[in-house]
Structure 1
């Protein structure tokens, strides 16, 4: 989330671990609850990760592919949403085609899963207890995953995304190709099929997440040094990337001056 300090004044964010049998597919469940009655609406902006989400929300549950920009959610009145964050590569088991077909899209969940997801949606959105929401969502997932066979390519895609996130010194797709023993082209096909975005995008987004986290930390940041640490040729390249996605240069964002005020 961008501006987590401001976000905490407007809504509550909870995370729930999946049950063990669903852990190969689900990174975690998340719940956002808010009560803004008598208060101004809030637009929350999120710098997306390379994950597909199933979100139980009004007016209808939806599947969100990887968003290459910044996702914004408009909160008003009172309510809650329940989300399932799938592991990178895992949603391919539930989708008839390359996950890249979902990128930058919001697809009604009923279009993919039929009446079963609509029934689950009624339970999740009608509940107040997070345990009830989680149980209904997980029962639904078990139903649609029934008979699914573990996919080694999905596991490899997830491992490669984790490697990018956990290795700041990994800066180029060519490095990832060398480490994995694949050609760059093979990596591109794997990521299109299972992740939804190219490995170059995942590398760049990981760097922007680090830059945003530093900006949100409240500590002074040496942006030139950070740019070098993140593999940018110079500070100007970091500023251009950050501004293009977030809407403000990193130093201005850190000072509380992003374009949306959130």
Structure 2
């Protein structure tokens, strides 16, 4: 769970979280832009920690590169084995991630990760989210030609604002042409999974629980139970952020208000989704460069 706002003053600015146009809010969750160009960082500081997520993502590297890290040791933010795999392409598409992950940048980097709702990606491209679960894929091998042309235009843009504009100009007409009649207005995971369930119930004949769950898994890549679990975790994250602004965090109250059975349940789920216990995650966000993505969401 998030720390107090007493962040280490040596931390870099976390980056920029770009919010999509209103017309794309059910399609794009957001875009994270991160630049360490001009900064001097240690090997440990160039690690990037990410939680498990139901989202898909499309990433660009404008300067520098990243590699995938494996072998994270729970509760030790900087203790990762030297098992490293290169990213599979110039532009990388990832599917829903059922486990927390980490990457490492060999040097300064300027990159952008656009987070897409998996059902929206399916509607616009025909790709099956279930085929992308826990995978990093060379985007040029799976995306339609028009998408590859868009990736090239984003890569060639002069600054981040222009990159986002080109991306949104590309996505907007495609999303408006295929978006479901039942709008997926929920921008957080819990609301989104509820809308998926409503859409599954209304979309086709056959409304048994098994048929509904099969549709939801096809659209999102993950079973409804997993989506609801991530929704609880996200609710808890933002409840803690709010509680800290008020000066005190009661973990038992956070657990109960977020739908957990008890505080122990909250701790187990936090470790499963992030790889760290709540206290280690709390300290990591406040004091470790590698938790920049969590700080950005706060």
**TM-score interval for Structure 1 and Structure 2 normalised by the shorter chain:** 0.7 to 0.9
Equivalent residue for 2:190, pick from 157, 164, 167: 164
TM-score by length of 1: 0.72
Gaps of 5+ in 2: 66-88, 292-298
Equivalent residue for 1:206, pick from 198, 222, 231: 231
Q: What is the root-mean-square deviation in Å for CA atoms of aligned residues?
A: 3.9
C-alpha change, 1:23 and 1:221, in structure 2 (3 Å) is closer
Cross-structure match for 1:244? 272
- DSSP-derived class of the 1:17 partner: coil
Q: Does 1:9 align with 2:12?
A: yes
- DSSP-derived class of the 1:89 partner: helix
C-alpha change, 1:10 and 1:75, in structure 2 (3 Å) is farther
Query: CA offset at residue 121 of structure 1?
Result: 3.9
C-alpha change, 1:212 and 1:107, in structure 2 (3 Å) is same
Separation in 1, partners of 2:56, 2:152: 22
Q: Does 1:130 align with 2:132?
A: no
C-alpha change, 1:129 and 1:228, in structure 2 (3 Å) is same
Cross-structure match for 2:217? 192
Separation in 2, partners of 1:28, 1:257: 20
Cross-structure match for 1:233? 261
Separation in 1, partners of 2:179, 2:237: 35
Per-residue CA shift, 1:11-57, capped at 9, x if unaligned?
Answer: 4223042484x556334444222225422242232335422222223
Separation in 1, partners of 2:29, 2:167: 14
Per-residue CA shift, 1:84-121, capped at 9, x if unaligned?
Answer: 32235111123435322211111111012366555544
Cross-structure match for 1:173? none
Cross-structure match for 2:114? 84
Query: CA offset at residue 78 of structure 1?
Result: 2.8
Query: Which residues of 2 match residues 50-199 of structure 1 at below 5 A?
Result: 50-57=54-61, 58=65, 60-113=90-143, 117-138=147-168, 140-141=170-171, 145=174, 149-152=178-181, 155=182, 158=184, 164-165=190-191, 183-199=208-224
C-alpha change, 1:140 and 1:2, in structure 2 (3 Å) is farther
CA contact (8 A) 2:190 2:232 kept: no
Gaps of 5+ in 1: 171-175
CA contact (8 A) 2:189 2:230 kept: no
Separation in 1, partners of 2:215, 2:101: 25
- Matched residue pairs, number? 247
Equivalent residue for 1:31, pick from 30, 33, 40: 33
CA contact (8 A) 1:214 1:221 kept: no
Separation in 2, partners of 1:88, 1:125: 23
Separation in 2, partners of 1:77, 1:249: 29
